[in-house]
């Protein structure tokens, strides 16, 4: 620049024109420099915006910016699915399909951010582009203006629908496992109590039976003993319910048509229900047969009808019972109460529905507990016994109930190829038995041995007794030529009935053995199938039952 300033002195008047040209050159160059800087800044901003846009669109979860004043979505990534609606639509319209902001039904992330002024994380129900609800974990971050006010909110959504579903499935599974463990513990307890109580009842019922047989018809104490016998039989019925709850009830399995069974007991059902209730029967024809104990299935239906009647109470209503068959897949069976990995396939069902008071979730979780009731204490084992019988038949049970909307119980049983038995009338009752021969009675309970011995002796049998398996082997070895039948208790200390039976077979392979137990016949027969049992008598028994079973094992014909 110094030579340029000296030029006017050297060139005279022409220097003014030269100096002007030089000044104009400098000005043009300055303008070009300013334009270049602005273009560079704009290009840098565009690159920065494009880079940020690529980052946003690379995110696999919805990310967007919401205006804090009018809830407009002013920026969003591709994963949000908002498309060209960005800048014109609100967040509640895009994620909820609403025309107004959230009304408090679930937490609004924007309102939470505005209220706290801090980042928030809330669970929120959003709807996807197809209109299906999705559970989102919403992360909201406030954006402040120059005056410190919240101008926008950055929202980032994590779809946790599947995680929530998995957590719910895990919670249900844990609940089912806990319920199964509880029921199994209660079943073991109930079975053990029933078994021990049955031993006591043998003595009570047996002695009452013997006393009635020995007393003359007009004896003063006869009525009192008859009352003892009646109470003992009611106690025995309670034991049967406890065994049914434990899944170890007395089963006599045969082919059974559910529709035919319900039709057979329909007159009993009409008497059972309240006079203010109406009974409706919807029985399907040609329902596939099931293998079941008729008495136990009858008890299930009666218990469910009784439960429905109590649910209706004095208000009046409708009780309907229906039968049919349904194809059950794994998903359906998983939703049944205490699913035991039942096989998929065709199941026949009986369903009882009432229009009564219904149940809440807390009540539904306890209805199968022994002696639980919403009425008053001491009602018994109705639904608990139902559950045990269903479990014992390898069936399934579904319950649907809502407060004020009634209850539906559906019991399902796997179908069988066995034809349903055509039942006609009651089975003939055994008559008197003229006993002969010697019976070895083995039981660890002294009262059972004493009563059983008296029962058999009154029918003409000679009786030897043993208190356990080891003594039984000794007595049998000494008297094997005269013993024609062994009545053997299954549950004994030191050497149980199964081991004793095995040792008896080694001594004499064709020995006639009648097992005795408080557990069910179906379980015993299955457990000892192929081992040559001559019979089974379930405790508690009376004289007629014991003598009839021993006589049948020994081939003695029944009297008329």
pLDDT for 78 beyond 90: no
State how far Cα 258 lies from the chain centre: 23
Contact (Cβ atoms closer than 8 angstroms) between residue 130 and residue 150: no
* Low-confidence winner among 210-214, 251-255, 491-495, 526-530 (lowest mean pLDDT): 526-530
383 Cβ partners below 8 Å, 6+ apart? Answer: 303, 307, 367, 368
pLDDT of residue 1: 42
Question: Which of 519, 539, 500 lies closest to 243, judged by CA?
Answer: 519
b/e map of 208-217 (b: 16 or more CB within 10 Å)? bbbbbeeeee
**Model confidence band, residue 131 (pLDDT cutoffs 50, 70, 90):** confident
Note the pLDDT of residue 36: 79
Give me the chain's average pLDDT, please. Answer: 78
Half-sphere exposure of 377 (CA within 13 A, CB side): 0
Tokens 């392979």 locate to 509
Higher pLDDT, 400 or 493: 400
* pLDDT tens-digit readout, 302-342: 889 888 888 888 788 899 999 999 999 888 888 887 666 78
Cα separation, 363 vs 367, in Å, equals 6
Higher pLDDT: 172 or 507? It is: 507
**Placement of tokens 């999705």 in the chain:** 134
539, 260, 181, 241: which is closest to 389 by C-alpha? 241
pLDDT digits (tens, 9 = 90+) for 260-299: 999 888 877 877 787 788 889 999 988 999 988 887 888 8
Q: Partners of 154 in the beta sheet?
A: 65, 141
Residue 118 has pLDDT above 80, yes or no: yes
Q: How confident is the model at residue 476 (pLDDT cuts 50, 70, 90)?
A: very high
Range name among 66-75, 233-242, 329-338, 531-540 with the lowest pLDDT average:
233-242
pLDDT of 6 reads 38
Identify the H or E element spanning 319.
strand 317-328
Q: Are 389 and 297 a contacting pair, CB within 8 Å?
A: yes
pLDDT-derived band at 40 (thresholds 50, 70, 90) equals confident
Contact criterion met (CB below 8 Å) for 555 and 535: no
The side-by-side arrangement of strands in the sheet containing 150-159 is: 73-76, 63-67, 150-159, 133-144, 120-127
Q: What are the pLDDT digits (tens) for 168-216? A: 888 877 776 776 666 666 666 666 677 677 777 887 888 888 888 778 8
CA distance 76 to 51: 14
> How much is the pLDDT for 186?
66
User: How do beta strands 438-442 and 483-489 pair?
Assistant: parallel
């Amino acid at each position: 620049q110094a030579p340029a300033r000296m030029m006017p002195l050297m060139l005279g008047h022409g220097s003014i024109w030269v100096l002007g040209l030089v000044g104009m050159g400098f000005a043009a160059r300055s303008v070009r420099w300013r334009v270049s800087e602005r273009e560079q800044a704009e290009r840098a901003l565009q690159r920065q915006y494009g880079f940020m846009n690529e980052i946003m669109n690379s995110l696999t979860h919805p990310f967007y910016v919401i205006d804090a004043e009018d809830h407009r979505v002013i920026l969003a990534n591709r994963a949000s699915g908002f498309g060209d609606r960005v800048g014109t639509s609100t967040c509640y319209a895009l994620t909820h399909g609403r025309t107004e902001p959230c009304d408090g039904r679930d937490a609004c992330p924007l309102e939470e951010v505005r209220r706290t002024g801090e980042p928030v994380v809330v669970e929120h129900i959003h709807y996807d582009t197809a209109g299906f609800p999705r559970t989102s974990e919403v992360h909201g971050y406030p954006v402040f203006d120059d005056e410190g006010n919240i101008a926008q909110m950055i929202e980032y959504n994590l779809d946790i629908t599947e995680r929530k579903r998995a957590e719910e499935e895990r919670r249900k599974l844990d609940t089912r496992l806990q319920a199964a463990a509880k029921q199994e513990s209660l079943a073991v307890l109930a079975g053990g109590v029933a078994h021990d109580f049955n031993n006591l009842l043998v003595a009570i019922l047996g002695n009452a039976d013997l006393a009635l047989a020995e007393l003359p018809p007009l004896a003063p104490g006869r009525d009192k003993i008859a009352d003892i016998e009646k109470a003992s039989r009611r106690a025995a019925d309670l034991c049967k319910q406890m065994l049914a709850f434990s899944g170890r009830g007395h089963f006599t399995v045969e082919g059974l048509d559910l529709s035919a069974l319900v039709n057979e007991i329909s007159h009993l059902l009409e008497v059972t229900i309240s006079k203010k209730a109406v009974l409706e029967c919807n029985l399907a024809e040609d329902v596939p047969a099931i293998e079941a104990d008729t008495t136990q299935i009858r008890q299930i239906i009666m218990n469910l009808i009784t439960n429905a009647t109590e649910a209706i109470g004095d208000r009046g209503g409708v009780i309907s019972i229906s039968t049919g068959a349904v194809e059950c897949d794994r998903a359906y069976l998983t939703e049944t109460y205490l699913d035991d990995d039942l096989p998929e396939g065709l199941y026949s069902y009986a369903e009882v529905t009432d229009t009564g008071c219904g149940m809440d979730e807390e009540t539904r979780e306890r209805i199968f507990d022994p002696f639980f009731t919403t009425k008053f204490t001491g009602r018994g084992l109705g639904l608990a016994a139902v559950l045990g019988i269903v479990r014992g038949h390898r069936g399934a049970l579904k319950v649907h109930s809502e407060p004020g909307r009634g209850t539906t119980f559906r019991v399902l049983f796997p179908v069988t190829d066995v034809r349903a038995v055509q039942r006609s009338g009651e089975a003939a009752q055994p008559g008197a038995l003229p006993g002969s021969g010697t019976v070895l009675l083995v039981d660890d309970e002294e009262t059972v041995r004493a009563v059983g011995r008296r029962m058999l002796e009154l029918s003409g049998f000679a009786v030897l007794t043993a208190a356990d398996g080891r003594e039984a082997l000794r007595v049998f070895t000494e008297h094997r030529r005269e013993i024609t039948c062994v009545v053997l208790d299954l549950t004994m200390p030191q050497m149980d009935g199964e081991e004793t039976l095995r040792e008896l077979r080694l001594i004499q392979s064709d020995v006639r053995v009648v097992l005795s137990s408080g557990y069910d016949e179906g379980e015993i027969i299955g457990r000892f199938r192929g081992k040559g049992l001559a019979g089974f008598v379930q405790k508690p028994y009376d004289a007629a039952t014991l003598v009839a079973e021993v006589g049948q094992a020994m081939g003695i014909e029944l009297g008329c």
